[in-house]
Structure 1
Amino acid sequence: MKWTKVVLPAVVLVLGYAGMKGIEASASDKTPAEKIDTRPTVTIDSLTPEDVRVQLSSYGEVMPLETTNLAAQVSGEVQMWNPKLVSGGLVRKGEVLFTVEADTYEAALLSAQANVASAKAQLIQEKAQADVAAREAKTMPNSQVSELYLRKPQVMSAEANLKSAEAQLKIAKRDLENCEVKAPYDALVVSRSISTGDYVTQGSPVAVLNNIESAEITFPVAGFDSRFLEAKTVGSEVTVSDNTISNQNGQGISVKGVIHRDTGIVDNNTRMSYFVARVNDPYSINSNKPVLKFGSYVSVSFEGKVLEDVFRIPQELVTEQKVWTLDEDNTLHSHKVKVVREDSGDFLIQGDFNPQKVVMSLPEYPQNGMAVRVIENTANAVTAKAN
């Protein structure tokens, strides 16, 4: 069958051509494929300039305003010591800490009083004799009258003896008063080295006291923070916090103080300046505020200068001192900015840029002039903005 060998291929070709035309016809009836937007997406937000008060913080150790090595001013046997005169005891200014046997000093006082009385009597006697001599001298020639005859040296000697006796009386009174050793200020007792019956000598140390009327904290201010200090830092209020001690709410304690002085020294190695804060009544014997113990390592925070017209922006949006904005055609542009300060995870910046269209989420590789598509996050959905 030769004709089948010729006809069959022709039929196959005709059918294939017809099928191709049918496919083209059906494809032409469909709508054109939608064009895909391949631009990277970004989000934008506006920034508002604000004035920000700089908050500065540092650390330091709480130390007493002064420490006294208490010593006996008279010698004698210790008769009694205050039960508060123990390590950790708190005593008030003027409170008796211990007493020394006073018999010897009471006798010395009586002797001094007697000497004063005797000296006064002697002076009275000399003055009376001088008056008699002066009256007699009026009837005598001037050549026979001398100062010795008028008893002037005797009167001066009696006056000197009285002053000496009064001085000894003053010393005797002081020594008797010093038999009671009193606290020179409100104090924390650090140590005591005497007991009842001990014999103490004048000048021998008996206890160590810390002044609790005020405490001081010496704290550093780093060089990069120094430019944010107020012109009158001394006298500024500070907050002193100790997070190692918890209050009733389980939080660290805080008390108020003031910056008392600038030490006037910049450390050669660290380039830090040092200030001293002072806290009154750290052991709260005159108030109900939290106790701030000596030796505690605390934080010190206080206010610095006000930064005017700065923008707050998350740190991750500032790369190489640049921020990115959009123009009216939704293309990216970078702007050089000045990072004034870091604050609570943000940067405070200043610069010449459009604060109304700051890019808050950048493409992976942003370029100047890159066209982008802006998306807006709402509470319900994410919608696309058209150009």
Structure 2
Amino acid sequence: MEPQDSNPHRRLKVFGALAVAVVGIGLAAVLVMTSRMPESQIATPKPPSVEVQIAEATQHTYRIQSQGTSLPRTSIRLVSEVSGRVVSVAESFDAGQVFAKDDVLLTVDPRDYELALTQAKAQVAQAELRLLTEINEAEIVRREWQLLKQEEPTGLQAREPQLATARAALEAARATEEAAKRNLDRCEIRAPFDGMVAKANVRPGQFVALAAPLGELFTTDVAEVRLPLASSDLAFINLPSPGADTALGQAPRVTLSTRVGGQRSEWQGHLVRSEETVDPVNRMVYVVAQVTDPFGLAKRTGPALRSGTFVRASIEGRTVENAVVLPRQALRGKNRVWIVSEESTLQRWLGYRVPGQPSRLAFRSVNVSFADADVVVVAGGIQAGERVITSLLAGVIDGMAVKVRELDSTDE
């Protein structure tokens, strides 16, 4: 009885599965018949976006970049002109201390030289006495000779050799006295100029010999910086002529700068001369810039330009008119720029233009008169108002389509 009761249920399950399958097949057929095939589309490449700068003819002042080390204009080694024991040293005679001209920096024991001066004065007195004696004796001889010979005596009869010897002895004694005075004065070693002590080698009680080094001094009124320049850079600077007396205010101005601890310091100077020789090693010409009062001792303002400081220099050069100045990145290679044009290369060749066409990139050869790390000065090849591409692009082709992103005029 149980098998007979399950047969109707089996039949219902089979019929249900077949019905679902038929409906699914029917729906699939309907979808296939009513669907449309996708249309193939060719992707249109977008032109790269570029930044441009409008070329303008403006007045431009060349600025030549260089670098060098600040050094004092005058630096000397102080030596002893006498020998003896150092009895005193001034407080200003120490490294980094400032002194004035004729200040006594140190003193050597003067007693031996005082004795030598006393002896020299005694020799002078003896020589003067001898000369007076010879003069009196010569006068007596002259009178006696006139009484006997009725004529003036000459040569040995007038004691001329004895007088000459006495006069020479007096001059020698006076020279010895002068030398003794000078040696006594040299016991006080004085500053030859206003300046600063770079090094002090002696202290009180130390014995110094003749010509022994005592220290090093340098001036503080002017600092100098030797700046190397390429020979091609000299054409953009109004260098003072050799031997010409050029006022400091008329010399080319130089801005010296350095950065220490994140802070930038600047000093203003002038280009005073050129060494007028080409260095055989680096083929550079050195010019000299001067900075007045580098330590700020007179004005007591601004940072000190210490000796040995490495500085970067920006030299103000000549001023030219109608120059096209562009950013350095606008120059491609040595003498090429990219211009935004409304015509393609083929249209330029054929001499017509199709309205509505996208902007095109065009190669342009230019005449570059000056270029440094920041700007390039173009003397020819670009017309005022043309748009120069300043963006960096890869795979550039002459005549390719570009999209101008932003316009900016030359503003130096």
Calculate the TM-score normalised by the size of structure 1.
0.74
Moved more, 214-223 or 227-236: 227-236
1:348 counterpart residue number: 377
Partners of 1:194 and 1:53 in 2: how far apart?
52
1:244 counterpart residue number: 260
Q: Calculate percent identity across the aligned residue pairs.
A: 28
2:365 counterpart residue number: 336
In structure 1, the gaps of 5 or more residues are 1-37, 379-387
1:358 counterpart residue number: 387
Task: Say if 1:287 and 1:116 are closer, same or farther in 2 by CA, change over 3 A.
Answer: farther
2:322 counterpart residue number: 309
Cα deviation code 1:47-99 (max 9, x no counterpart): 33122110112111112334333222122221111122222222222111111
Partners of 2:366 and 2:320 in 1: how far apart?
15
- The answer to whether the 8 A contact 1:42-1:359 is kept is no
- The answer to whether the 8 A contact 1:326-1:359 is kept is no
- The secondary structure found in structure 2 opposite 1:138 is helix
1:177 counterpart residue number: 185
Calculate the TM-score normalised by the size of structure 2.
0.70
Report the alpha carbon displacement of residue 293 of structure 1 after superposing the two structures with TM.
0.7
- The answer to whether the 8 A contact 2:62-2:318 is kept is yes
Partners of 2:313 and 2:68 in 1: how far apart?
7
Task: Say if 1:192 and 1:134 are closer, same or farther in 2 by CA, change over 3 A.
Answer: same
2:290 counterpart residue number: 278
- The answer to whether the 8 A contact 2:67-2:312 is kept is yes
Report the alpha carbon displacement of residue 159 of structure 1 after superposing the two structures with TM.
1.0
Task: Say if 1:55 and 1:371 are closer, same or farther in 2 by CA, change over 3 A.
Answer: closer
1:382 counterpart residue number: none
Partners of 1:292 and 1:299 in 2: how far apart?
12
Q: When the two structures are aligned, how many residues end up with a matched partner?
A: 337
1:190 counterpart residue number: 198
Task: Say if 1:108 and 1:137 are closer, same or farther in 2 by CA, change over 3 A.
Answer: same
- The answer to whether the 8 A contact 2:201-2:214 is kept is yes
Q: Pairwise mapping of residues 245-264 of structure 1 onto structure 2 (< 5 A)?
A: 251-264=263-276
Moved more, 234-243 or 73-82: 234-243
- The answer to whether the 8 A contact 2:239-2:271 is kept is no
- The answer to whether the 8 A contact 1:57-1:301 is kept is yes
Partners of 2:97 and 2:53 in 1: how far apart?
61
1:204 counterpart residue number: 212
Cα deviation code 1:99-146 (max 9, x no counterpart): 111122112222222222232232223222222322322223379944
- The secondary structure found in structure 2 opposite 1:68 is strand
Task: Say if 1:122 and 1:80 are closer, same or farther in 2 by CA, change over 3 A.
Answer: same
- The secondary structure found in structure 2 opposite 1:232 is coil
Report the alpha carbon displacement of residue 266 of structure 1 after superposing the two structures with TM.
2.2
Partners of 2:106 and 2:203 in 1: how far apart?
9
Moved more, 102-111 or 158-167: 102-111
Task: Say if 1:71 and 1:361 are closer, same or farther in 2 by CA, change over 3 A.
Answer: closer
Partners of 2:202 and 2:47 in 1: how far apart?
87
Q: Pairwise mapping of residues 371-382 of structure 1 onto structure 2 (< 5 A)?
A: none
Q: Pairwise mapping of residues 204-243 of structure 1 onto structure 2 (< 5 A)?
A: 204-232=212-240, 235-243=251-259
Aligned residue identity for 1:356: G
Task: Say if 1:326 and 1:306 are closer, same or farther in 2 by CA, change over 3 A.
Answer: farther
Partners of 2:211 and 2:61 in 1: how far apart?
54
Task: Say if 1:73 and 1:377 are closer, same or farther in 2 by CA, change over 3 A.
Answer: closer
In structure 2, the gaps of 5 or more residues are 1-45, 243-250, 344-351
Cα deviation code 1:325-346 (max 9, x no counterpart): 4579478565431122236744
- The secondary structure found in structure 2 opposite 1:93 is coil
- The secondary structure found in structure 2 opposite 1:288 is coil
Report the alpha carbon displacement of residue 232 of structure 1 after superposing the two structures with TM.
3.3
1:287 counterpart residue number: 299
